[in-house]
């Protein structure tokens, strides 16, 4: 079968309740804060600059959160893995320049075509075949390059607010230092509590309402198909979803020991993108950073709990998009930077180890450097170009490693495990 079957037996309510734990709920909260602060601010900025109304921007946020949340809930329950969906951030940034000369209806038309293209690729099994030709160290080097900035943001946060960053970091370290404490108090929980205490004591969070609205209501948008919008947006949007975004998510999940149903997830991104387009939101994707937070702690078999709570919180966020966005944007930037950065440290460390501890070291290094450079060519971001150049070097310069890798993939019965684990041998 091209689409991966749902494992049996199906998750039961009693089993779900038994697997619930504080660390999984905490990781889901951190993932939500991380996923919906900067990205929401980007949507607001792009929307305002593109002349969209407040209601249209709210519909965009509503659709992205609710669609992603529903997909996350379904796939996390069905496959018992933390499979989180959101909207493509590079795709959102791409629209900043497109709305200067394209109408929003033309952009919606490009969303529709992109959704169909992604869905067809998923249903054809093309993504799985592509991953079988992609050495995991190179992909993880791309992931490390993307997540490196989040680790650096923890350090830079001390320049913005030394007291807040210091208190949160000390809380994180204390939990790690005290024997046995980590088993009862997840480091991220301690970091979150310490940060909230400092924010409240220092008055960094201001509660003026400023005409606050609570609910976001969806608005129907009708597409307009133009040659210019299709040529300018469809291919870059599809690439950012399939490579820059889904590639991160798959690599993070594989590196954590999960076996994501890549064809089914890709097809779901196509369906989610079409649903988003109806209400004016950018294409859906499997989110890398959120999945990285969700797999950063706890037992691997129970991490699906974090995915379920992330999906539920995403739907709630979408419904209360106005109010929740207002609250999150009132938090100091250092708070979110430190919280997300510390939560991602274990994943960042594993990505570096997996990328540089075995074969494909040259191609992995080049991939990392290009990804960190943050260059943009033809409206396509650095992660894609890092992966392209890295794979080119793997095929040409590291021919022996690549030949061995292809032999292993062609004979391995479980190609996902081989792709994720072969580098450590």
- For the chain, give every domain's residue range: 13-135+148-153+215-343, 162-203
Q: Is the pLDDT score of 274 beyond 90?
A: yes
Summarize the confidence of residues 205-209 as an average pLDDT: 60
Helix 136-160 / helix 246-255 crossing angle, nearest 10 deg = 100
Longest dimension (CA), the chain: 64
Nearest by Cα to 305 from 6, 21, 10? 21
Tokens 């930077």 belong to residue: 337
Summarize the confidence of residues 392-413 as an average pLDDT: 77
Percent of the chain scoring above 70 in pLDDT = 88
User: What are the strands, taking DSSP E only, across 217-318?
Assistant: 284-286
At 210, the pLDDT band (50, 70, 90 cuts) reads low
39/156 Cα distance (integer angstroms): 20
Q: How far, in whole angstroms, is CA 55 from its chain's centroid?
A: 26
Nearest by Cα to 240 from 93, 134, 131? 93
The answer to whether the CB of 50 falls within 8 A of the CB of 95 is: yes
281/368 Cα distance (integer angstroms): 30
φ, ψ of residue 85 to 5 degrees: the values are -115, 150
Q: Write the DSSP symbol of residue 82.
A: -
262/122 Cα distance (integer angstroms): 8
Q: Is the pLDDT score of 425 beyond 80?
A: no
Nearest by Cα to 363 from 404, 399, 417, 410? 399
At 22, the pLDDT band (50, 70, 90 cuts) reads confident
Scored b (16 or more CB within 10 A) or e, 359-395 reads bbbebbbbbbebbbeeeeeebbbbbbbbbebbbebbb
Is residue 285 classed exposed, middle or buried when 0-12, 13-18 and 19+ CB atoms within 10 A define those classes? Answer: buried
Give the pLDDT confidence of 70-95 residue by residue, as tens digits: 999 999 999 999 999 999 877 787 77
308/20 Cα distance (integer angstroms): 10
259/131 Cα distance (integer angstroms): 13
Instruction: Tell which wins on pLDDT, 289 or 121.
Output: 121
The answer to whether the CB of 283 falls within 8 A of the CB of 243 is: no
Can you give the pLDDT at residue 213? 62
The answer to whether the CB of 24 falls within 8 A of the CB of 299 is: no
Can you give the pLDDT at residue 252? 86
Q: Write the DSSP symbol of residue 303.
A: T
Q: Is the pLDDT score of 278 beyond 90?
A: yes
Can you give the pLDDT at residue 88? 84
Strand pairing report for 85-87 and 284-286 = antiparallel
38/247 Cα distance (integer angstroms): 21
At 205, the pLDDT band (50, 70, 90 cuts) reads low
Tokens 């939560």 belong to residue: 343
Helix (H) or strand (E) segment spanning residue 86: strand 85-87
Q: Write the DSSP symbol of residue 284.
A: E
Q: Write the DSSP symbol of residue 37.
A: S
Nearest by Cα to 370 from 357, 356, 381? 381
Give the pLDDT confidence of 115-167 residue by residue, as tens digits: 999 999 889 887 777 766 778 788 778 778 877 877 888 899 898 889 999 99
Q: Is the pLDDT score of 340 beyond 70?
A: yes
The answer to whether the CB of 164 falls within 8 A of the CB of 338 is: yes
Can you give the pLDDT at residue 238? 84
Can you give the pLDDT at residue 421? 44
Q: Is the pLDDT score of 264 beyond 90?
A: yes
79/259 Cα distance (integer angstroms): 9
206/212 Cα distance (integer angstroms): 13
Question: Two tokens at 231?
Answer: 């040529």
138/210 Cα distance (integer angstroms): 48
**Average pLDDT for the chain:** 82
User: Which residues touch 49 (CB under 8 Å, ≥6 apart)?
Assistant: 96, 99
Least confident of 62-66, 162-166, 406-410: 406-410
Give the pLDDT confidence of 290-326 residue by residue, as tens digits: 898 899 888 999 999 999 999 999 999 888 877 776 7
How many alpha carbons fall within 13 Å on the CB side of residue 22? 10
Summarize the confidence of residues 347-360 as an average pLDDT: 81
Summarize the confidence of residues 246-266 as an average pLDDT: 88
CA end-to-end span of the chain, whole Å? 31
């Amino acid at each position: 079968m091209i689409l991966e079957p749902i494992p049996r037996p199906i998750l039961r309510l009693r089993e779900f309740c038994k697997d619930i734990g504080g660390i999984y709920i905490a990781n889901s909260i951190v993932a939500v804060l991380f996923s919906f602060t900067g990205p929401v601010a980007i949507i607001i900025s792009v929307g305002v600059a593109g002349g969209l109304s407040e209601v249209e921007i709210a519909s965009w946020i509503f659709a992205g959160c609710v669609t992603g949340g529903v997909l996350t809930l379904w796939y996390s329950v069905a496959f018992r893995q933390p499979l989180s969906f959101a909207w493509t951030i590079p795709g959102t940034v791409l629209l900043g320049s497109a709305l200067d000369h394209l109408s929003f209806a033309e952009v919606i038309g490009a969303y529709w075509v992109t959704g169909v293209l992604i869905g067809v690729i998923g249903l054809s099994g093309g993504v799985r075949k592509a991953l079988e030709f992609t050495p995991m160290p190179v992909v993880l080097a791309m992931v490390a390059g993307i997540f490196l900035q989040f680790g650096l943001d923890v350090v830079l946060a001390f320049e913005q607010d030394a007291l807040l960053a210091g208190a949160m970091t000390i809380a994180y370290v204390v939990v790690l230092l005290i024997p046995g404490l980590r088993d009862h108090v997840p480091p991220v929980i301690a970091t979150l509590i310490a940060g909230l205490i400092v924010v409240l004591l220092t008055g960094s969070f201001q509660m003026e309402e400023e005409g606050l609205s609570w609910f976001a209501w969806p608005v129907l948008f009708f597409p307009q198909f133009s040659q210019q919008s299709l040529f300018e947006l469809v291919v870059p949007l599809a690439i950012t979803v399939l490579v820059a975004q889904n590639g991160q998510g798959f690599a993070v999940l594989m590196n954590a020991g999960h076996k994501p149903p890549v064809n089914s997830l890709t097809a779901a991104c196509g369906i989610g993108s079409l649903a988003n387009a109806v209400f004016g939101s950018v294409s859906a994707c499997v989110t890398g950073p959120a999945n990285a937070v969700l797999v950063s702690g706890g037992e691997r078999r129970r991490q699906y709990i974090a995915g379920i709570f992330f999906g539920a919180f995403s739907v709630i966020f979408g419904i209360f998009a106005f109010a929740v966005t207002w609250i999150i944007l009132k938090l100091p930037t250092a708070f979110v930077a430190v919280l997300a950065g510390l939560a991602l440290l274990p994943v960042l460390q594993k990505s570096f180890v997996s990328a540089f501890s075995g074969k494909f070291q040259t191609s992995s290094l080049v991939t990392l450097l290009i990804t960190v450079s943050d260059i943009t060519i033809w409206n396509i971001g650095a992660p894609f170009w890092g992966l392209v150049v890295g794979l080119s070097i793997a095929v040409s310069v590291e021919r022996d490693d690549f030949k061995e890798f292809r032999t292993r993939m062609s004979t391995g019965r479980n190609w996902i495990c081989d792709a994720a684990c072969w580098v450590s041998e």
